[in-house]
Amino acid sequence: MITVNGINYYDYDPERKLSLWLREDLSLTGTKIGCDIGVCGSCTILINGEPKLSCRLKVKDVENCNIITIEGVALPDGTLHPIQQAFIDAGAIQCGFCTPGMVLTAYALLKKNPHPTRQQVRQAIRGNLCRCTGYQQIIDAIMLAAERLDLKQP
Amino acid sequence: MKKAFRNDAHAKVTGQAIYTDDLKLHDMLHAVPIYSELPRAKLIFLDTSAALKLPGVIAVITAKDIPGNIYYGQIIKDYPVLVDKDINSTGDVLALVVAKTREQAIAAVPSIKIELQPLKPILDPEEAMNPEADILHPSHVSNLTNYHRVRRGDVTSAEKEADIIIEEEFSTSRVEHSYLEPESAICHLRCDGVMEVFGSMQHPFSTRRFVASTLGVELKDVEVKLLTSGGGFGGKDDTAALVCARAALCAWILKKPVKITYTREWSMRESYKRHPYKMRYRMGLNKEGKILSVKARIVADGGAYCSVTPWVTWRSTVQSCGCYEVPNVETDVYGVYTNNIFSGAMRGFGSPQINFAVEQLVEIAAEKLGIDEITFRQINMVKQGSTTITGQVLENHLVSLNQVLDTVLKESDYKNKRQLCSFGNPNHQEWYGIGLAICYRGVSLGAEGTDVNSAILYVQPDGSVLLETGVFENGQGSESAMILIAAEQLGLPLERIRYRMPSTSNIPDGGSTVASRGTIMGGGAVVKAANILKQIVGEAVQKYTGKTVSNFENSQLLDPSGVLIMSWDEAIKLCYNNQIYPYAFGVFQPPQISWDEETGQGNAYYTWVYGCQAAELKVDPKTGIVKLLNMIAAHDIGKAVNPFALKGQYYGGMAMGAGYALFENCPCENGLVVPTNFNKYRLPRSIDLPEMKAIFIENPDPVSPSGAKGIGEPANELMAPAIANAIYYATGKRYHSLPIRIKI
């Protein structure tokens, strides 16, 4: 069994590349293929909360795992996660191709470290290439998300 | 806090945005390219029989299947969509394998038997320029794609008067655009006989020309629709169009939808790159610090195909002396065919190379004269009313070079920090340096093409508005900028305006969304359309109420004394009820430019932008590793339309400039692009870059209806020389070639 965005899957080809399984078979096309060799970060997904590169894995590698793709980050009613909203509000989006991977990497970071410094954010997203933004507004967005998530905590 | 506005942000942050490879059509086939292994050869024989027997393989398409023209190109029609006989590059595609799945198509590629007759490649532009060299494109008279020049004053006499003459050579590297989304196209033949093309490209109309030429049909028979684009940076023109043309060819022949999605390896192998330049400069100066003359010889490696090399090198020609007044100039610029991968448009378009040379050259000159580098620039840089090297008087807009320079000097504390620079001091644990660079840049196309753009504003019966312009979204936020300009002009909230899905069948060709012309040209057209629309609505209201509309504000129509006449929605209802369409087509025609190819004189651009960038860095004296500490930019952008998106252009431009300075290089070995993927091509990562600062200088341009100018390219053309200068002040050594590798 594999759980993707809360849905359990039982029938799959274990030898299939994970990125293709998500994109082609489950139509979760928010996971992007930029390099297909595990250096650009566009295909980042969360496996049991850890950011991993889906182009470097096979379906059998994630059996009994809980996967979150970009489609699983917002609430079921469509409300955006504070990280997603912060990416919009801070102007962190240009072409958008790196965005799903960046959001998921940020999601994992803020779960582990809710109060990162800008330098820690830089370190966390070093595996995610972005050609448009120079990363500045992506870092702004993650810092803003941390601030907002902090305010939400009781 | 103030929030950013983008019409596509929600879709992009949720993964819902549809890029081309995300789309599937029913019964869709997949095609993949087969490349030449040699940079120059004759195609003798291509046997597809074994491949056709493999599972899933439907067809192998070759040049003989092309119903229209095999060759196409934006300026010279020299590029074979598929090779028929002559191979000029390892990016040349010999055939396409079409199969039910992409994996099956890829698996069949090794089964195609290919026989080539090797020819000796020409890999060095200087060798190609030798009159004895083989002519690579026999239909062309020489191996030059073009020759441009500037002749002004008398360099020989000026050099006799000069107190000193300096001579320097510079070279720049071939770099890859590295849009994160590789090329992708889906084509299908619609039931009305139109070839419908979905893709990611710089300019759908350019793609339409490639597709129509390949199929041998008229422009009306092809409709190109732009899906979400995963970045362009100038790079998604010829190659993206070729990918579309090939997918269309397969769909045309097989009568089924066909998708081609490139791997990163194919993209890096085949797509055009930024031109590598070799530049030799001789500058004559007097001891008062005035530049008397410049003699420059510039050679651009255009690679195997012409693409837009004549236009790229034309900008280099016009801006060959940087933003300085030089009374005597002899510039010769050559675009040269070789068998390397072809070169084409990339953000900056012939200026990053020039600025890398000139912005170091002026500092070398200043040092020789014993004048500080800022004063030297201030003596020689263009000012209000200055005449450029092509004879253009800068008088129709505010020349703000001093303003951008002063801003960066102050914000970076340049003069104080410059005193702290290490100059390779052996007693320093780490070498510190600060450097800057300045530029001007001609806005839009200049003599590269006809400059015009249009916009359609079409108000629906409920008062909501559909907007479309002749500029296209590559990720920069052009649609959002157009919506913002329309909203301001019409006095409506943003959510009442929607941007129509771009299609070549909706609106006239407004030229490519390149040359930082999107905001000024598209925005100009939006303002024109809004004025027409307000006139139509205002006249209808006048006719049926007798009241004069003077303002459109807050969804209301106001009379000259500010009294409400009626709401926007009521006015639109009034129009529809009285057989009047609230529909406007606006055209922006900027002033004509002039150019004399013989002398290189003329009003090259209708207006100019000014910029200054600086960088602080540290160099490790043991390893030579450069650590960027911060980067800062000030640009006169006319008017900030969308501040967050504008900052994004600054930051992304500076980052790409830093990559150009320190990391990026795409050498060719025997014509083949060496880096095959991002593991071998070093892009700046988050940890390589410092914090950046973006400063807007707003002097609304009288030529621009919206007041705004451009930023995409200015932001990208200064960081390499700023870093090179900072490295000089850190290490005491000048680096004349890119990327800079510090020698210890």
CB B30 within 8 A of CB B102: yes
A154 pLDDT band, cuts 50/70/90, is: low
| Mean pLDDT score of chain B | 97
Q: How far apart are CA B245 and CA B623, in angstroms?
A: 48
Please state whether A49 falls in left (phi above 0), alpha (psi between -120 and 50) or beta.
left
How far apart CA B263 and CA B243 sit, in angstroms, is 12
**CA-CA distance, B678 to B182, in Å (whole number)?**
12
From chain B, pick out residues whose CB is under 8 angstroms from the CB of A134: 651-656, 684, 689, 692
Q: Please compute the mean of the pLDDT values over residues B583-612 and round it to a whole number.
A: 95
CA distance B367 to A85: 51
| pLDDT for the residue numbered B717 | 98
Compute the nearest-CA separation of B317 from chain A (Å).
28
Å between A25 CA and nearest CA of chain B: 12
Tokens representing residue B61 in the block:
């398409």
B59-82 pLDDT, tens per residue?
999 999 999 999 999 999 999 999
Count interface pairs A-B at CB distance under 8 A. Answer: 175
Averaged pLDDT, B187-206 = 96
Give the pLDDT confidence score for residue B514 in this predicted structure. Answer: 79
Would the pLDDT of B419 be above 60?
yes
Task: Judge contact between B43 and B283, C-beta under 8 A.
Answer: no
- For residues B158 and B293, is the Cβ–Cβ distance under 8 A? yes
- B497-516 burial string, b = 16+ CB within 10 Å, else e? bbbeebbbeebebbbbbbbb
**What are the tokens at B634?**
């000030």
Supply the pLDDT for residue B261: 98
Residues of A in contact with B106 (CB under 8 A): none
- Residue A30, min C-alpha distance to chain B (Å): 4
Residue B683 contacts residue B659 (beta carbons within 8 Å):
yes
* Neighbour tally for B423: CB within 10 Å: 14
Residues of B in contact with A95 (CB under 8 A): 179-181, 228-232, 474-475
Whether omega before B739 lies within 30 degrees of 0, making that bond cis, reads yes
Strand B328-337 and strand B291-303: the pairing is: parallel
How do residues B22-43 score in pLDDT, each as one tens digit?
A: 999 999 999 999 999 999 999 9
Q: First vs last Cα of chain A: how many Å apart?
A: 36
Residue of B nearest to A94 (CA): B475
Q: Residue B171 burial (CB < 10 Å; 0-12/13-18/19+)?
A: middle
Select the more confidently predicted residue: A103 or B450: A103
Mean pLDDT along residues B208-231: 98
Q: How many CB atoms lie within 10 A of CB B2?
A: 8
How far is CA B240 from its chain centroid?
14
> Is this complex scored with an ipTM above 0.95?
yes
Per-residue pLDDT tens for B69-124?
999 999 999 999 999 999 999 999 999 999 999 999 999 999 999 999 999 999 99
What is the Cα–Cα distance from B175 to B185, expressed in whole angstroms? Answer: 24
Condensed to tens digits (0 to 9), the pLDDT of residues B399-413 reads: 999 999 999 999 999
Beta-carbon separation of B652 and A133 below 8 A = yes
pLDDT reading at B507 higher than 60:
yes
3-state secondary structure of B121: coil
Q: Is the pLDDT of residue B449 over 80?
A: no
Classified as helix, coil or strand, B522 is helix
Band (pLDDT 50/70/90 cuts) for residue B343 is: very high
Name A50's bridge partners: A47
The Cα of A56 is separated from the nearest Cα of chain B by a number of Å equal to 14
CA distance linking residue B275 with residue B356, whole number of Å: 13
Average pLDDT over residues A138-146: 98
Q: What pLDDT, on the 0 to 100 scale, is given for residue B1?
A: 57
Rg (CA), chain A: 15
Report the alpha-carbon distance of residue B651 to residue B629 in Å, rounded. 14
The tokens for B691 are: 């914090």
> Above 80 in pLDDT, residue B448?
no
Scan residues 143-162 of B and list those with Cβ closer than 8 Å to A.
none
End-to-end Cα spacing for chain B: 48
Q: Environment class of residue B741 by beta-carbon count within 10 Å: exposed (0-12), middle (13-18) or buried (19+)?
A: exposed
Asked whether residue A152 carries a pLDDT value surpassing 90, the answer given is no
Residue B698 confidence (pLDDT) above 90: yes
Q: Closest by alpha carbon to B87, among B57, B120, B52, B49?
A: B120
Do residues A63 and A47 lie in contact, with contact meaning Cβ atoms separated by under 8 Å? Answer: no
Report the pLDDT value the prediction gives residue A150, as an integer from 0 to 100: 86
CB B469, CB B205: distance < 8 Å: no
Could you give the CA distance from residue B102 to residue B98 in angstroms, rounded to a whole number?
8
Distance between CA atoms of residues B281 and B284, nearest Å: 10
Side chain identity at residue B325, one-letter code: E
Q: pLDDT digit string (tens) for A14-65?
A: 999 999 999 999 999 999 999 999 999 999 999 999 999 999 999 999 999 9
Burial, B1: exposed, middle or buried (Cβ in 10 Å; 0-12, 13-18, 19+)?
exposed
pLDDT of residue B513: 82
Give the DSSP H/E element, type plus range, for residue B654: helix B643-662
- In this structure, the strands spanning B93-99 and B71-72 are unpaired
**Best residue in B6, B179, B180 to probe A by mutation, most A CBs within 10 Å?**
B180
Rounded Cα distance between B232 and B228, Å, is 11
Per-residue pLDDT, averaged over B292-315, amounts to 98
